[in-house]
Amino acid sequence: MKRTLFVLLLLVAGALAWSATELVVLTNGITGWLPQEDFRGFQGIREKLAVDFEKAHPGVKVTILYRDVKQGSLTADALMAAGTPPDLWMDAAGYFKKYMNADYALPLEKYVDLSKYHDYLLKPYAKDGHQWALPYANVLGGFAVNTTMLAEVGYKLPEDIAKWTTDEFLALGAKLKAKKLPLSMVMFKGGMNDWTFYFLRAFGAEMYDSAKKDYSRVTINSAKAVAGLDYLKKFMGLGYGYPNPVEQNADAGVELFTTGKVASCAMQDGHCAYWIPEQVKTGKLKSQFSVTFTEFPHSAAVAHVPGYGYQSIMVAHKNKDEAKNKLIGELAALFSGREHTWYNSGVACGFSCLKDYEPSIGWAATSMHTDLSKLAQNVGLLPVDDVGDKGEEVSRLWATVTEQWIRGKVTTKAMLADFEKKANAILSK
């Protein structure tokens, strides 16, 4: 009798498992909690939300897959190639250009109350009258400055940051050099990266004509870019940058800044908030130093150098089963709701995408977070380039030519002209 009952139970469980609807969420990075919080044994926020969702929808199973951030979009591309796209994919906006359309994505306005989100953060992901993605974290970046190191050479940032000019920056470089301290990071490993591009923005140069929102061609071959690159070369020539720029990338920038080896570097507050205490723990840094996030110094040609920002967003894959689409929509709303926003702000340094909710806990309560928020409000953010899936190819081209340029193999003007021609050929295809 017992055996029969056991077999029956097994069959029922098997049938239930077989009939359960599975929703697959692909997301990046790791998930976690604030150190001081206790969340009843859940591994992290996404796991907790998945269980909440399963409880509210019996028979639904939510599976969370994590993408290895070091491998780019490899996990996602492999899933796509296998014909098994995730039902919900959460990642940096740059990954989704080719997926935000009726061929792939679920139009979310049908399933989610969009009035809860900041309109300006929804807008970039709306097209043809449909909302193809929901933002769940607004990531801001700025220019991190070690004010403790500046104080050591008797320098204080101007109260009115608009007075912090590129000439003033060189003067600061001289002061720091006298004490054998490099002022900033110039990163050219694999070509000039976005963070080093600040040197060009300081002179008003832009990769695309963002004022006209024209991303169909690059416009970098300009007198402004020449001025920016000449300044960059002068800066390095005077010995104010960290040595060997071709060996430095963003990872090196974060490592050197957070170990107090360089006075400034562009980055996000999350990098400092996590790494500075970590460097103290591992003995790479004697004690924590003060950091402020500010505007990059500007030339006389421009009034301000905008910060940069991008959103982490989620795109839902449309399904033939309308009931499943409804579930996916609900899951998207949950994963971009208040609890997830709380986590993002407190642990991952993201800024809220919800209109009426701006947490001030964990890392969101630090002065760096507030600095960045002020920077975004006062100076504004550069619009996110929208060059579609050709952006990666154009970036690679830029990397190669700038690497040749920093090695002195091509002149500034020749490099810019060559790049613009080749990049526009890629974009026009």
Partner 1 sequence: MKPRAALLMILPALVLFAVTFIAPLLLVGRLSFYQSDYVHTAYVGFQNYIDAFRDTYFLKSFVNSSVMTIMLAPLITIVAYTVASAISDYSEKVQAAARFLFYVPGLTSGLIMGILWLWILDRSGLVNNFIVSFGGEPVPWLYDLWPARFSIVLVSTFSGMGGYIILYAVTMHAIPEELRDAAKVDGASGRQYKKLIQRPLMMPTILLALLLSIVGTMQLWESIYMLTAEGGPEGGTASPVYEIFLTAFKFGKAGYAAAKGIILMLVLIAILLIKNRVEGWLRK
Q: What is the DSSP letter of 385?
A: P
If binding is defined by CB under 8 A, does position 246 make contact with partner 1? yes
Q: How far is the CB of 100 from partner 1 (least distance, A)?
A: 10
Q: How far is the CB of 190 from partner 1 (least distance, A)?
A: 3
Sign for the pseudo-dihedral over CA of 352, 250, 44, 316 = positive
Applying CB under 8 A, the span of 20-28, 195-203, 282-290, 392-400 interacting with partner 1 comes to 392-400
If binding is defined by CB under 8 A, does position 52 make contact with partner 1? no
Angle ∠(48,52,57) on CA atoms, nearest 5 = 145
Q: How far is the CB of 18 from partner 1 (least distance, A)?
A: 27
Distance CA 313, CA 336 (A): 9
Q: What are phi and psi of 142, to 5 degrees?
A: -155, -165
State which residue, 5 or 81, has the beta carbon closest to partner 1.
81
If binding is defined by CB under 8 A, does position 386 make contact with partner 1? no
Applying CB under 8 A, the span of 140-148, 222-230, 281-289, 388-396 interacting with partner 1 comes to 388-396
Residue in 400, 412, 417, 418 binding partner 1, rule: CB under 8 A = 400
Sign for the pseudo-dihedral over CA of 99, 104, 107, 112 = negative
What is the contact mask toward partner 1 in residues 248 to 287, using x (rule: CB under 8 A)? Answer: -x--------------------------------------
CA-CA-CA-CA dihedral for 312, 89, 94, 107, to nearest 10: -90
State which residue, 98 or 286, has the beta carbon closest to partner 1.
98
Q: How far is the CB of 228 from partner 1 (least distance, A)?
A: 22
If binding is defined by CB under 8 A, does position 158 make contact with partner 1? no
Coil, strand or helix at 376: helix
Beta bridge partners of 316: 88
If binding is defined by CB under 8 A, does position 7 make contact with partner 1? no
| CB count in 10 Å sphere of residue 101 | 12
If binding is defined by CB under 8 A, does position 103 make contact with partner 1? yes
If binding is defined by CB under 8 A, does position 292 make contact with partner 1? no
Distance CA 122, CA 139 (A): 14
CA 423 to chain centre: 24
Applying CB under 8 A, the span of 27-35, 48-56, 335-343, 395-403 interacting with partner 1 comes to 395-403
What is the contact mask toward partner 1 in residues 407 to 426, using x (rule: CB under 8 A)? Answer: x-------------------
Distance CA 274, CA 388 (A): 32
> Would you say 150 and 291 are in contact if contact means Cβ atoms under 8 Å apart?
no
Applying CB under 8 A, the span of 51-59, 112-120, 184-192, 358-366 interacting with partner 1 comes to 184-192
Number of residues that bind partner 1 (CB under 8 A): 27
If binding is defined by CB under 8 A, does position 244 make contact with partner 1? yes
Distance CA 200, CA 327 (A): 46
Applying CB under 8 A, the span of 231-239, 270-278, 306-314, 390-398 interacting with partner 1 comes to 390-398
Residue in 163, 355, 396, 421 binding partner 1, rule: CB under 8 A = 396
Q: What is the DSSP letter of 211?
A: T
If binding is defined by CB under 8 A, does position 128 make contact with partner 1? no
Applying CB under 8 A, the span of 175-183, 308-316, 323-331, 394-402 interacting with partner 1 comes to 394-402
State which residue, 33 or 104, has the beta carbon closest to partner 1.
104
Distance CA 229, CA 235 (A): 10
Distances (CA, A) of 16 to 327, 343, 424: 18, 33, 55
State which residue, 50 or 252, has the beta carbon closest to partner 1.
252
Residues in Cβ contact with 85 at an 8 Å cutoff, skipping those fewer than 6 apart: 79, 104, 317
Residue in 10, 12, 37, 98 binding partner 1, rule: CB under 8 A = 98
Residue in 2, 4, 40, 81 binding partner 1, rule: CB under 8 A = 81
Strand extents, DSSP E, 38-121: 60-67, 88-92
> Would you say 299 and 231 are in contact if contact means Cβ atoms under 8 Å apart?
yes
* Residue 10, both tokens: 């097994």
Residue in 28, 73, 166, 336 binding partner 1, rule: CB under 8 A = 73
CA 96 to chain centre: 14
Distance CA 382, CA 376 (A): 10
If binding is defined by CB under 8 A, does position 190 make contact with partner 1? yes
Residues interacting with partner 1, by CB under 8 A?
A: 72-74, 77, 80-81, 98-99, 101, 103-104, 189-191, 244, 246-247, 249, 389, 392-393, 396, 399-400, 403-404, 407
